Chains A and B, each alone.
Chain A
Amino acid sequence: MGGWAIAVHGGAGVDPNLPAERQEEAKRVIARCLHIGITALRGGAAAVDVVEMVVRELETDPVFNSGRGSALTRRGTVEMEASIMDGHGRRCGAVSGLSTVKNPVSLARLVMDKSPHSYLAFDGAEEFAREQGVEVMDNSYFVTEENVGMLNLAKEANSILFDYRVPVPGVETCSASAGSMVDNPLQMNGLPISVYAPE
Chain B
Amino acid sequence: TVGCVVVDGNGCCAAATSTGGLMNKLTGRIGDSPLIGCGTYACELCAISCTGEGEAIIRSTLARDVAAVMEYKGLGIQEAVDFAIKSRLDKGQAGLIAVSRHGEVACGFNTTGMFRGSATEDGFMKVGIW
**In the complex, chain A residues whose CB is within 8 Å of the CB of B11:** 1
Cα distance A54–B117 in the bound complex, in angstroms? 12
B residues 87-111 in Cβ contact with A at 8 Å: 91-107, 109, 111
A55-B18, A78-B20, A83-B16 known; A66+B2 contact, CB < 8 A: yes
Check B121–A34 contact: CB distance below 8 A.
no
Chain B nearest CB, measured from A43 CB (Å): 10
Instruction: Specify which chain A residues have a CB less than 8 angstroms from the CB of B114 in the assembled complex.
Output: 9-14
Knowing A8-B117, A13-B111 touch, does A41 contact B9 (C-beta < 8 A)? yes
The interface bits of chain A over 142-155 (1 if a CB of B lies within 8 angstroms of the residue's CB, else 0) are: 10000100110011
Measured as residues with beta carbon below 8 angstroms from the partner, the interface class of chain B is: 35 or more
CA distance A45 to B14 in the complex (A): 12
Contact A81 B9 (CB under 8 A): no
B129–A79 touching, CB < 8 Å: no
- Interface-side segment among A130-138, A173-181, A183-191: A183-191
Whether the pair B26, A74 counts as a contact (CB closer than 8 A) is: yes
How many residue pairs, one in A and one in B, have C-beta atoms under 8 Å apart?
363
**Which of chain A's residues have a CB closer than 8 A to the CB of B58?**
none
Min CB distance B109 to A, Å, is 5
Q: Is B70 an interface residue (CB 8 A)?
A: no
B127 and A83 contacting across the interface, CB-CB below 8 Å: no
Interface residues of B (CB under 8 A from A): 1-31, 33-36, 39-47, 49, 51-53, 55-56, 91-107, 109, 111-122, 125, 127-130
Closest 6 CB pairs of A and B: A70-B20, A2-B103, A3-B121, A10-B115, A12-B95, A14-B113
A positions within 8 Å CB-CB of B: 1-16, 18, 23, 26-27, 30-31, 33-34, 37-38, 41, 44-48, 50-52, 54-55, 58-59, 64-67, 69-75, 77-88, 90, 92, 94-97, 104-105, 108, 118-119, 121-122, 142, 147, 150-151, 154-155, 160, 164, 166, 186-190, 193, 195-196, 198-199
> What are 20 pairs between A and B in contact, CB < 8 Å?
A2-B100, A5-B99, A5-B120, A6-B105, A6-B119, A12-B52, A14-B114, A41-B9, A47-B6, A52-B16, A55-B16, A59-B2, A67-B18, A71-B21, A71-B22, A72-B23, A79-B27, A81-B18, A84-B40, A119-B36
